[in-house]
Amino acid sequence: MPAPLAIGLVAHDDKKAALVDWAVAHETYLKGKALFATGTTGGRILDALPHLDLVRLKSGPLGGDQQLGAMIAEGRLDVLIFFVDPLSPQPHDVDVKALIRMATLANIPFACNPATADLIVGGRPA
């Protein structure tokens, strides 16, 4: 039996609610997947969907983005869902850029907004 699809979930502060809403809307799809999320994002998702099997990593600015990047580099992450806030400065912008670069280099599906995330999981954008 193949390993479950491994999905990384992360969102900037102003996009966390949107990621939680997306996860709730795609709860059926996410069940049975290996889910990894940065600390605060993961906590918010688990508050809404406590039964999901989700591993919380460190908070993004404290190394969580780098943990996800390492998982990509090691071939342990299949998809990255990262709801980015392009209008707010990020104090750990260099980590964010490195994570996006890793997803691009590894050629894994990468969604930076709900419409693209919908397409990745086989739905249609709203």
Name the residues annotated as catalytic: 65
CA–CA gap between residue 103 and residue 2 (Å, rounded) = 22
Taken as a whole, the chain contains a residue count of 126
Q: Please check whether residue 53 is in contact with residue 34, taking contact to mean a CB–CB distance below 8 angstroms.
A: yes
Give me the amino acid identity at 71. M
Which of 26, 77, 79 is closest to 49 using CA atoms?
26
CA–CA gap between residue 89 and residue 69 (Å, rounded) = 20
φ and ψ at residue 62, rounded to 5 degrees: -100, 15
